[in-house]
Amino acid sequence: MILIIDSGTTKTQWVLLDGSRIMEDTETIGFNPYYTPAGSIRESIANGLTENIINGEVKHIYFYGTGCSTKENCMLVNTILKGFFPNAAIETHHDLYGAAVALLKNREGIASILGTGSNSCLWNGQKIVEAVPSLGWLMGDEGSATHLGIIMLQAFLGGKMPKEITGAFYHYTGLNFEGILHKVYSENEPNRWISGLSPFASANIEKPEIRHLVKQNFLDFLSAQIKRYTGYREKEISFVGSVAWHFKDVLSEVLREEKLHAGIILQRPMDGLIEFHSSSSQD
């Protein structure tokens, strides 16, 4: 049996496969080896994994995780997993690599992550050959829930939106103008709160002003990331993540207007990873 692990900062998904048959699908607390101590990672795994996975005679593990962008972090995660699965062969990769496998498999193209944050890479069918640096929410993350939240705040707090929608927005946040400024500038981890504004856009997407902001978010992503890749106009561009999925109609419209080659849109990378590794195990 093989074990596929997709790990983010907030949650980690574990899928145990016997050929193409899913034997177990469970979640544990997420972690990032840049910030999470090794002891805490071990504890979260020990407390969260089911007996079916622990005793599942796992022969091969494919781990795709946030923060696994260095050899040191990959080795750390590999060592921790080896303690739970001593007889398994383990491959550890960055989550962007996992997104490319999930979306493109053995095809060439551009893989994009549009969730709380954003990222992308040019994939040659086997490995990442180009990657635009991700600058994080404060200086980048165009196309993400956080960037959309920033655009919305600029529009609403700047008095650029109709009165009716503005009232609904303030009601949604439960804050007034000063309260929002305090939340953004004086409280810890404002990016988490800002990214949480995206459901308001989803619930009001039929309003032209909101749809325009969502389109602008995607256009910013294309400009900051996609249009910097070699031969991007000829490449298949695929997406994974909550923002890409929930606003897929708007995203598809933007790609058509920009005359770009749209690939697939997945809500979560695990769907594509299961398909890829199921077929690989039967080759």
pLDDT of residue 280: 67
The superfamily (CATH) of domain 2-100+270-281 is ATPase, nucleotide binding domain (3.30.420.40)
Given this model, what pLDDT does residue 69 score?
Answer: 84
pLDDT of residue 52: 84
- pLDDT for residue 184: 95
Kindly list the averaged pLDDT for each block of 10 residues, start to end, along the chain of length 283.
88 90 90 87 89 86 90 94 93 94 96 92 95 82 94 97 96 96 92 93 97 98 96 96 96 97 94 88 55
pTM, 2 dp: 0.86
Instruction: For residues 205 and 32, give the distance between their C-alpha atoms in angstroms, rounded to a whole number.
Output: 33
Q: Report pLDDT digits (tens) over 127-138.
A: 999 999 887 778
Q: How much is the CA Rg of the chain, to the nearest whole Å?
A: 20
| The 128-130 sheet, strands edge to edge | 128-130, 118-123, 109-114, 236-240, 261-266
pLDDT at 29: 85
pLDDT digits (tens, 9 = 90+) for 136-194: 778 878 999 999 999 999 999 999 999 999 999 999 999 999 999 999 999 988 988 99
**What CATH number does domain 138-215 carry, 3.20.20.140, 1.10.1840.10, 1.10.720.160, 3.90.420.10?**
1.10.720.160
- Tell me the domain boundaries of the chain: 2-100+270-281, 138-215
Of 189, 188, 161, the C-alpha closest to 177 is 161
